[in-house]
Structure 1
């Protein structure tokens, strides 16, 4: 299935209530790309962050739920906690029929996030992945290949969500069991039955998480070699690998054997984990919550972290485009892309290449930039909005 017959996801209406700097805002779009231009601090990135809450996770800023609500001017300086209950609502088109998605803070305590689909309350955040898929690039991700493994792992998991919506639920169950086991060990409660039950969850969910990551990484690498190759490509292809205990075992062993090995490793490390303050610290090799995504510039056979800043940016853009194209061809849906200040950091040649890829996919990409002139090639093919002091106005 190619991009021409894939379902193109698009947010055709976005409504913000007490979200960041917005008391209330409604943005009406079609399915075309969207350009948001305005001065720094006007509220452009806040719109992209709102869209990022339409999938599982903590959004593109990894913010606490209680920090997202709109605050009165000066509230931060006074120390007063005046964050409000916030909400993000969207009408999402997938080429068949629209779906209404809503999410936000349940109450002012900031303890729980709620989700509604077509007006019906949902029990799990993971249901969002069945209706919407989004990938993003932000200026903060420029150090993705240089800093620790946490952000690379999250980046990979976000890519996996669009191919396997159940992935979010597995990670949630794994992390819950991990926290419970760590607490028991910290309290020196060596209840074998309780710990064994938690370790069984860690083994079964951890193996499934590792298998999904490995599968998508392999497909992405193959997709980049096919779709972004040779002289026709403006973005370099990369090879992908995962440094992880379960991922390594899965290359040679059946899933059930990997689960058994994980159970044995966790059980044998209880005493040492209790002393070292965490699950897996005493195990040789990275458990699923410690796995690392390894990215290599294919043509140069060079680790991404050793490439130039410009090459790292190109690798990231190429990865996101490859994921979108693979999702279109293999999964039958084109995800939404959130590209925060990306165009400003590309030369004109690569900007044109990026716009061309987005239009070729029929993808709804949301671009931000301080200057609308950067997006001139998209005139007539995208919706243009100006953002000024938390007000979004369509540009004629």
Structure 2
């Protein structure tokens, strides 16, 4: 996907900004707090409904009014253009595609696939399991047909089971457990297959990024012991009744990351974790491309996260995927490929020619 035009209103310090980006590479630079990351946040909100920095819309809303708006004209890999937009406040949202209202934010996400590499991306390696679950699920949303429906069905059944547990309604647990186990096993199979695909490509990505990390393996950890989720739910029922929630299942799953036979977060430095996270994200983008999606790649503050050698390696590999890339930094960095440059200062964005 290519963003042809981006317009942002009242998002953080961006009062009213319009950008006509390059189809391949865009470099935004300016001092800290100038608003360059806010531009990337605007793209993230338009795609995901939320920023990669905060889940709270109220933190993004500028001083002009109680809502912010992001609009874009985009072109898909087949050449079809669309107009998309999102208005959001702390209490409501409204999205549009080609002049028609959308019912679900996922409709915008499908049109604007996105991969984000930002300063906290190392948490993919060292952070809690829910960070890695979101990473897996975002990738599968774009490449696995039927994933969203299974995820929603599982989430509904999980909510029903937790409600029954809190109310001590043991009589309904058998029927709810059947539904939860069925969708949980399907979701588990999808995640495992996706993790295997990522694992099969991760070493090549690490080589391309010139990361000196070897023998990395990714494996899906399902969130329960044994082969059968249904049996795990039965075995756990007494404890779940005591605690009022479901303690096993895909909502407790993780993506295991092992380096040379040892858990990666225990042996890799912060810099190595950043390199591994970058490799995981570009691998996700590569899988999206293989399935007919062309994600926009956002690289926030890349120069401060990597030295020049690895900066060039990351950018070269990102551009080799053929999509549009946006790079931010505090300084104007010389780049060895045609690109557009934008100077950001106090919420104003000016293209340099």
1-side partners of 2:304 and 2:145: how far apart?
A: 32
Matching of residue 206 in structure 1 with residue 184 in structure 2: yes
Q: 2:246 aligns with which of 279, 297, 307?
A: 279
Given that 1:126 and 1:165 are in contact with CA atoms closer than 8 Å, whether structure 2 keeps it comes out as no
Secondary structure, aligned partner of 2:127 = coil
TM-score, normalised relative to structure 1: 0.79
Matching of residue 20 in structure 1 with residue 12 in structure 2: yes
2:327 matched to which residue of 1? 367
Matching of residue 323 in structure 1 with residue 284 in structure 2: yes
2-side partners of 1:180 and 1:87: how far apart?
A: 35
Q: What value does the CA root-mean-square deviation take over the aligned residues?
A: 2.7
Q: CA separation of 1:169/1:50 partners in 2, compared to 1, >3 Å: closer, same or farther?
A: farther
Please list the CA deviations of residues 189-220 of structure 1 after superposition, one character each: whole Å capped at 9, or x if unmatched: 4451xx55654443333233222221111111
1:118 Cα shift?
Answer: 1.4
1:310 matched to which residue of 2? 271
Counterparts of 1:1-396 in structure 2, within 5 Å, are: 9-56=1-48, 58-71=50-63, 84-95=66-77, 96-105=79-88, 110-164=90-144, 166-190=146-170, 192=172, 195=173, 198-225=176-203, 227-228=204-205, 234-235=210-211, 236=213, 238-245=216-223, 249=227, 261-266=228-233, 269-280=236-247, 283=248, 287-297=249-259, 300-305=260-265, 306-328=267-289, 330-373=290-333, 376-378=334-336, 381-396=338-353
TM-score, normalised relative to structure 2: 0.88
1-side partners of 2:15 and 2:226: how far apart?
A: 49
Given that 1:16 and 1:22 are in contact with CA atoms closer than 8 Å, whether structure 2 keeps it comes out as yes
Q: What count of residue pairs does the alignment treat as equivalent?
A: 349
Secondary structure, aligned partner of 2:251 = coil
1-side partners of 2:157 and 2:42: how far apart?
A: 29
Secondary structure, aligned partner of 2:335 = helix
Q: CA separation of 1:170/1:358 partners in 2, compared to 1, >3 Å: closer, same or farther?
A: same
1:254 matched to which residue of 2? none
Q: CA separation of 1:290/1:101 partners in 2, compared to 1, >3 Å: closer, same or farther?
A: same
Q: Which runs of 5+ in 1 are unaligned?
A: 1-8, 73-82, 250-260
